Amino acid sequence: MSIMNMVQAINLALDEEMARDQSVVLLGEDVGLDGGVFRVSDGLFKKYGRGRVIDTPLAESGIIGVSIGMAMNGLRPVAEIQFMGFIYPAFNQIVSHAARMRNRSRGRLTVPMVIRAPYGAGVKALEHHSESTEALFCQTPGLKVVVPSTPLEAKGLLAAAIRDPDPVIFLEPARSYRLFKEEVPEGEYLLPLSKVRLVKQGKDLTLIGWGAMLPAIQKAAEAAEKDGVSCEILDLRTLSPLDWTGVISSVKRTGRAVIVQEAPKTCGLSAEIAARLSEEILLSLKAPVERVTAPDIVLPLPKGEDYYYVNSARIQKAIKRAMSF
Amino acid sequence: MLVDDFDPLKGKMLQILDKDGNVDKELEPRIDDKRLLEAYRTMVLTRVADEKSVRLQRQGRLGAYPPSKGQEASQVGPAMALGDGDWLVWAFRELGALLLRGAPLWRTMLYWMGNEEGSRYGEGINIAPSAVPVGSQIPHAVGISFASKYRNEKGVTLCFFGDGGSSEGDFHEGLNFAGVMKTPTVFICQNNQWAISLPREMQTASKTIAQKAVAYGFPGILVDGNDVLALFSATKEAVERARRGEGPTLIESFTYRLSDHTTSDDATRYRTDQELKYWIERDPITRFRIYLARKGLWDDAKEKALLEELGQFVEEEVKRAENFSPPSIDDVFNYTYASMPEDLKSQLEFHRHDLDGKGE
């Protein structure tokens, strides 16, 4: 057990999975000698060599398309897309092939691969480096979409994703990479890709979020507690396929839900959650489902980013609206 | 080396059998009679099955179908150069290659009839499923061959695509990766002169597609795509290079689609009878038959018997495909993930009832 940040935890998971399974290979832009632009694969090139930690040409569709072929022929590639904003050239490969190969071949050929990509705002980066477009992938049957929120979670979820028989989009909150450290175990530590994490129990309201939104959610919950509101917090972990039982049972118990989503409002995952709650437990709801999201605008450059980024104060207001309905 | 002697940048094209079936004795490959006859049989089977499939489509018994007519040598020749454990990655107009590599005809028909079971070719048959988004299969072939190399196996991957596919970004990215990673991949571009209605000269200003290999740092060769011996020889050399660890090769098979792009297309809207006539005179099956006859391996009686046998065989395969059970509602849900997520299980049950028993 040692104290580490999320970058170190991901590095540890990659290292241990590569040591355990010869079929695991890493590939992407600058992942080798340079250790990745966020240093996530630091040291692995030296340890496993250029044959397993592969610096590729600068071509996202190529990286993902080649990874699909590797997976079809027995390897377990872990491909890095340098930023989620650069994943779109590979969108066709992900949606048209990675997600469908199992079904198309009736289970004869499968694509056990992981696509890692840092995502999200709040780090004052260049254009295209800050989006959170997970919903595009959640709408694609055949993919799993996983977003860790802490170093410990990142380790257990990534190890599970690498061992998973289906393609996993593993989105790492860039803002949380070095935000805090926690104890992370060395050796086998796996988390299920099918269960939400109960961060904190509460009885008045369920706060639902994932990835980089968790710190703001926790802060809002602490503030609400001071006003006498007991908040339950759910970290979704796996956005697709989602643990609907975990989400619905919590909101059924508390009667109120505030969903926090970094992405723009329309057609985001929060919309699906709100719709499911109304389908399943309308009569248990004591207030309309609240959503705290970015507006439906192009993500501003750093000088304007604070208008966009969901903060704890906005979540606190949503909690108040839900409680005073 | 053929790739040295037939440099596409010097305007060379490899041809061993000319349009009248005359063979270039210096270049004639040594292929045993049994394999020659197997190749011929597969080319004729491809033609017979292809014509049958078009008729089935017209009768509403098969969905939209991309005919192979005229490209039988272009498909069978390269596939002849593969061995056990090698992979075949294809687009959608490669029936001859599939049949030669062991895909059952009825399965390939089942696919065009609209059943995913048609892509289940059988254990140990290394053929990827059809890739409909043009060119998108090219990087897969590179990854598949990388995996063979990674495990120190000798397997080679043969990857088909068309002249249209060579304009896609995945062509560039795939060939570029293959060059850099030196993967055992053989790329076959079936240049059939038309991408639906777009003629080859509007697809690229490059004089040949073969010469594009130069930019990726590996050899390219232009081959008469209606000459099965030339395609076999060029591919065999490329496969051997790949097996020796010397990396990929791009082969441009210069051929012609004698039929429509698919059964939904009408090629008379964009090309002339004169052009069609020119290419009918260069039919790949005719010249191969003349070659076999001159070798004493073929005659009219054998031809008649073969056509009868294949006609009957194709009918049986059609019957088999048509008798195959349509998918159950469980089948269409079951292969989304390795194990069905809880929510999908409830969606399946809900859907079963929502379809008023039609999903039972």
What are the residue ranges spanned by the domains of chain A?
2-184, 197-323
Q: Does the structure show a pLDDT above 80 at A118?
A: yes
Sign of the four-CA dihedral A309, A247, A111, A50:
positive
Same fold, A2-184 and A197-323: yes
Angle at A88 between CA A87 and CA A91, to 5 degrees: 95
Quick check: A205 and A319 in contact, CB under 8 A? Answer: yes
- Which option is the CATH number for A197-323: 1.10.10.10, 1.10.4030.10, 3.40.50.920, 3.90.1150.10? 3.40.50.920
Q: What percent of chain B has pLDDT over 90?
A: 98
Chain A partners of B121 at a C-beta cutoff of 8 Å?
Answer: 108
Q: Which residues of A are catalytic?
A: 129
Number of A/B CB contacts below 8 angstroms equals 141
Q: Peptide bond preceding A112: is omega within 30 degrees of 0, i.e. cis?
A: no
Give the mean pLDDT of chain A.
97
B168 residue type, one letter: E
pLDDT at B13: 98
Residue A263 clears pLDDT 80, i.e. is over it = yes
Residue that wins the pLDDT comparison between A123 and B128: B128
pLDDT at B162: 98
**The domain defined by A2-184 carries CATH number 3.40.50.720:** no
> Tell me, what's the pLDDT at A1?
77
Residue B145 pLDDT: 98
User: How far, CA to CA in Å, does A188 sit from each of A14, A15, A166, A170, B228?
Assistant: 12, 12, 20, 19, 55
Which of A 138-177 lie inside 8 A of B, CB atoms?
141-142, 144, 164-166
- The arrangement of secondary structure in B2-326, i.e. its CATH architecture, is 3-Layer(aba) Sandwich (3.40)
> Which residues of B are known catalytic residues?
257, 261, 270
Confidence of residue A123 (pLDDT cuts 50, 70, 90): confident
Could you read off the pLDDT of A148-197 as tens digits, one per residue?
Answer: 999 999 999 999 999 999 999 999 999 999 999 999 999 999 999 999 99
Is the CB of residue A279 less than 8 Å away from at least one CB of chain B? no
Alpha-carbon gap, residue B262 to A1, rounded angstroms: 61
**Angstrom distance (rounded) from CA B248 to CA B238:** 7
Whether B150 and chain A come into contact, CB under 8 Å, resolves to: yes
> What is the predicted pLDDT for the residue at B357?
66
The residue of A56, A108, A140, A243 whose CB has the most chain B CBs within 10 angstroms, and thus the best one to mutate to test that interface, is A108
What is the mean pLDDT of the segment spanning A313-324?
98
Count of residues for chain A? 325
Please give the full DSSP string across A126-159, using - where no structure is assigned. -TTSS---HHHHHTSTT-EEE---SHHHHHHHHH
> CB of A76 within 8 Å of any CB in chain B?
no
Q: Within 13 Å, how many C-alpha atoms sit on residue B237's CB side?
A: 21
Q: Is A245 on the interface with B (CB under 8 A)?
A: yes
On chain B, the residues whose CB falls within 8 A of the CB of A48 are: none
Residue of A nearest to B173 (CA): A62
Beta-carbon neighbour count of residue B340 at 10 Å? Answer: 16
Tell me the domain boundaries of chain B.
2-326, 329-360
Residues of chain B whose pLDDT is less than 50? Answer: none
Cβ of A21 under 8 Å from any chain B Cβ?
no
- Report the alpha-carbon distance of residue B256 to residue B238 in Å, rounded: 23
Name every chain B residue with its beta carbon within 8 A of the beta carbon of A27: none
Asked if B139 lies within 8 A of A106 by C-beta distance, the reply is: no
Is pTM beyond 0.90? Reply is yes
Q: Which residue of B has its CA nearest to A102?
A: B335
